[in-house]
Chain A
Amino acid sequence: MTLTAAYGLLAHGLIFGAFAALLPLGEFRPRVGLAATTIALIGGIAPALHGVFGPPSPTLLLLALLQLANRTPSPLTWPIARGLLLFAPWFYLPALGAGGFDPYALGYQPWPLLAALAPVAAVLYWKRQTQWLGILAVDLASYAAGIHANLWDALFDPLLLLLAFGLGCRQAYIAFRLRQLTAKTGS
């Protein structure tokens, strides 16, 4: 088994466990998360996820680990999720064939991308975003270790976008319920 495959299988097991830990089960959530991780690893769910999606980004893995460790609130806040969702079409559509420019190709010789991450890290430091600074460090370390051949894959992945989309849906639902509540209170 390659390092990338081992990483992918373990990471998908943990991500599946973290999703299970989102269920409203009160104090049992961490235990449910760990049980779901075990089931995913030995029950074929993690290999199936790896088979379809490939190795996930360390960003998603670390968000999952924070969830499993019951470290709330998650650093993936709605403004960050919204930023990801706004960026995604500009990246994925050309990378999947639309137009003559392929932004994914920048991730093979990522000198400009890495240079651009330095000021991003400075802003995170200035804003005291310790968790995001740490996540970015692990992303780069995984690229440096050769787990990902392309830097983009170390930063984000389609499952992370799915999570951001889910967050957006939740946000929209909360806003909808608030409006309903306000309307009822008003009447």
Chain B
Amino acid sequence: MSNAHAPAACGRSQLLLRLAAVAFVGALAGAFWRIPPAPAPAFAPPAYTPPGTASTPLPAFFASAQLPQAAASAHAATLTTLPDGRLAAAWFAGSREGAADVTIWLSRLDKQGWSKPQALANRESTAGAVFTNIRKLGNPVLFTDGQRVHLWFVSVALGGWAGSSINHMVSDDSGETWSKPTKLVTSPFLNISTLVRTPPLPLADGGYGLPAYHEFVAKHGEWLRLDRDGRVIDKTRMAHPVRSLQPAVVALDEKRALALLRDAGPGPGRIRVATSNDAGLTWETGGAAGEDLPLPNPNASVALLRLASGRLLLAGNGDDGRTHLHLWLSADEGKSWTLARTAESAPDGGAEFSYPALLLGADGRIHLAYTWRRQGIKHASFSEAWLDGGQP
């Protein structure tokens, strides 16, 4: 009997093998077809030319205001101009940094001032949407592209900040309502250790380059290339011999970009530099001379902005720690910097003016938001003339 069945079994196994081979070929073709298109990247030109240009500069002015308090402890502000023209800020606040009750809040600036904060995401809403364990929430990043507002924010599944991943939400009505969060897949091991802090740069293909950073095993900057729907289509590491975090990136032209990073190494730190000559495909350590900036950095986040005049504005803390928030200017694409202003300082031990965010408004005003003593978020607006020493 067994001898009689042997040819049939052999024929069946041969058929199965051929079927598997055909399935493999079909699936391979499908996989090739599914690879997201990623043409050679280029930075998109600015969407508008601010009216406050060098020919009609805004007069010197400076104004500041506290944002409404959402909770006892607030940190990590981000700014954007909404499609309806209003300025918006988002930050995280709760009973303390890393607490389970930390929520991402949004406030808008209109004629009456900053609006009552609107809760965008908390631990429960995020966990329910992305079906993962969430211990706490962290840094948000706002960005407006046309009629769509993006929000990326950090959530931690396991352990400390090194166990973070990035979530993404969008709004098509100037931040009134938001989509449910989705999770960006950036790591092969429990999808951990990718964080955001600074806004993305729009790419010519409609996608974005999102500066990110990694904290597990090593600390370094990363560059996530996203398609127009926010899906990761490529990832590049900003390897640096010194532990560095939170790259703040500006495009110098269609291909060149400058990233300034927080020094996360031991001892007195300096602002670290990475540059790209291919719109983020590859990153090199150091600036044009291959060196980091001579500016101090006390392991604190920095913000970087290209002004209407073409100069670069850098906001960050100096060698006096987080008690002083400084503004530096560069007229040579970041090769040399001069201290323009100190936005805020205080000598008492509880003072912390940190985690700045910068934005160039459609009217040419420069906006700065930062953590104010961990108790709230402060917003300041000013002109280039004020940065140059003009008195309001």
Which residues of A are in contact with B by a Cβ distance under 8 Å?
1-2, 5, 8-9, 47-48, 50-54, 91-93, 95-102, 104-105, 107-111, 114, 117-118, 121, 125, 128, 130-131, 133-134, 136-141, 143-146, 148-153, 157-158
Contacts and interface: CB of A to CB of B under 8 A. Distances in A.
Given A9-B131, A141-B27, A96 B235 contact: no
Interface in B1-41: 13, 16-17, 20-21, 23-24, 26-28, 30-36, 38
A5 B131 contact: yes
B133 interface: yes
A104 B32 CA distance: 18
Interface in B191-220: 191, 193, 214, 216-220
Given A50-B131, A51-B132, A54-B190, A100 B237 contact: yes
A153 B189 CA distance: 9
17 contacts: A5-B131, A47-B131, A51-B133, A97-B219, A101-B237, A108-B233, A110-B31, A111-B35, A114-B31, A125-B17, A128-B17, A133-B21, A137-B23, A140-B31, A141-B30, A145-B30, A157-B188
Contact of B233 (A8, A51, A98, A109): A109
Interface residues of B, number: 47
Contacts of A139: 27
Interface of B: 13, 16-17, 20-21, 23-24, 26-28, 30-36, 38, 127, 130-133, 157-158, 182, 185, 187-191, 193, 214, 216-220, 231-237, 239
Given A100-B239, A125-B20, A139-B27, 16 more contacts: A2-B182, A5-B131, A50-B132, A52-B157, A54-B185, A92-B189, A95-B189, A96-B193, A109-B38, A130-B16, A133-B21, A134-B24, A137-B24, A137-B26, A143-B31, A148-B185
A133 B28 contact: no
A96 B189 contact: yes
A107 to B, nearest CB: 8
A117 B28 CA distance: 9
A153 B188 contact: yes
Contact of B216 (A8, A96, A101, A102): A96
B19 to A, nearest CB: 8
A93 B231 CA distance: 24
Given A125-B21, A130-B17, A150-B185, A105 B236 contact: yes
B346 to A, nearest CB: 36
A110 B34 CA distance: 10
B235 A104 contact: yes
Contact of B35 (A100, A110, A125): A110
B30 A144 contact: yes
B133 A102 contact: no
Contacts of B17: 125, 128, 130, 133
Given A96-B216, A144-B34, A149 B193 contact: no
Contacts, number: 149
Contacts of A143: 31, 34
Contacts of A149: 185, 231-232
B232 A98 contact: no
Contacts of B20: 125, 130-131, 133-134, 137
Nearest to B283: A100
Nearest to B134: A51
B31 A92 contact: no
**Which 3 A-B pairs give the minimum distances between C-beta atoms?**
A144-B30, A100-B239, A97-B217
A104 B217 CA distance: 15
A140 B30 contact: yes
Given A125-B21, A130-B13, A54 B235 contact: no
A134 B236 CA distance: 33
A52 B133 contact: yes
Contacts of A153: 185, 188
Contacts of B182: 2
A117 B35 CA distance: 15
Contacts of A121: 21, 24, 28
B35 A109 contact: yes
A159 B21 CA distance: 27
A29 B307 CA distance: 69
Contacts of B157: 51-52
Nearest to A125: B21
A163 to B, nearest CB: 16
B299 to A, nearest CB: 18
Contacts of B187: 95-96, 104
Given A52-B157, A130-B13, A144 B188 contact: no
B28 A114 contact: yes
A156 to B, nearest CB: 9
B78 to A, nearest CB: 25
Nearest to A118: B28
A109 B132 CA distance: 26
